[in-house]
Amino acid sequence: MQNRGERPDVVADAPPGNWVDRHAPPAIRPWLRLSRADRPIGTWLLLIPCWWGIGLAMMADAPRWFDLWIAVACAIGALVMRGAGCTWNDITDRHIDAQVARTRSRPLPSGQISLRGALIWLVAQCLLGLAILLTLGPAAIWMGVASLALVAIYPFAKRFTWWPQIFLGLAFNWGVMLAYAAHMGRLDPAPVIAWVAAIAWTVFYDTIYAHQDAEDDALIGVKSTARLFAENSPRILAGFALASVAVMAVAILWEGRNQLIALTGLAGFGLHLAWQLQKFQPERGDICLHLFRSNRDAGLILALFLAVAGLV
């Protein structure tokens, strides 16, 4: 296997040996990298709240065969729309990314893809995402349309607020309500409460992630909760972890069936966040990245128990 020093086209912050670097045809690698296909963690973190929403809906109602398609459609949609969101983010941040060591090798700032090409790629991904959304029913369609404003605003948040992670959470966790609406045909309080819990979770994990760039962000004037919390990050993040677990408990207790099973999964989720806090070292970028990626497992623990609670 070629090492990263022998591959100048490799993106610096992508996982070593990812499938795009190893197997994708060279002509399409820049496009896949623009969509972050070389780092699937973002797709997981977009998808997991959708699966939470399906579980909550099954707890409130009963499982249906259509739920299987909702789960699959959300997986495909998360892959496509995460790619579209990353493309939009890189379009808006191309000048900032060129000034940050971790991101200057990405396709746009490095010149592998033109701005016009990126815009065409963005439209293509959005159209595919729309085609999937149209299969989920009117309530979910309206929820999907309503999310577009949040997606559009997020890349600019770091320019005007110290809390861009809140804006990321607002957009990234919308799927918990969309998937619930796809099952129920309406929106109830439980998924809205779960959305709030998931936003706190996003602040938790994305602040850990943002600590990798804190020094570069300070030099170029980009705001983040990592810079805002600074040395107080462990204590403040503990508060967000606790808030996420407590608010999600309210969402679970709002539903009618098998609450104990779901709360068991929530306990596992909370223990995983506690483990992350124990291992967290803000000055160690490698540890921050490892902990950030581990949130896939934290979210899947809760998703699994919500699914069991809805199915039994």
Count the alpha carbons within 13 Å of 210 in the hemisphere toward its beta carbon. Answer: 26
* Higher-confidence position of 96 and 224: 224
Domains of the chain: 19-311 (1.10.357.140)
Predicted model pTM: 0.89
256 SS3 class: coil
Those residues whose C-beta lies under 8 Å from the C-beta of residue 87, and which sit 6 or more positions away, are 34, 35, 118, 121, 122, 125
Read off the amino acid at residue 39: R
The pLDDT assigned to 22 comes to 86
Q: What is the pLDDT of residues 19-72, one digit of tens each?
A: 888 888 988 999 999 998 888 899 999 999 999 999 999 999 989 999 999 999
The pLDDT assigned to 215 comes to 79
The pLDDT assigned to 4 comes to 43
**Residue 34 contacts residue 90 (beta carbons within 8 Å):** yes
The pLDDT assigned to 17 comes to 78
- Round to whole Å and give the CA distance between 128 and 122: 10
Find tokens 């462990």 and name the residue: 234
The pLDDT assigned to 105 comes to 81
| pLDDT mean over 135-142 | 96
- Round to whole Å and give the CA distance between 62 and 281: 43
Q: What is the pLDDT of residues 198-239, one digit of tens each?
A: 999 999 999 999 998 787 778 777 889 999 999 999 999 999
Of the pLDDT bands very low, low, confident and very high (cuts 50, 70, 90), residue 2 is very low
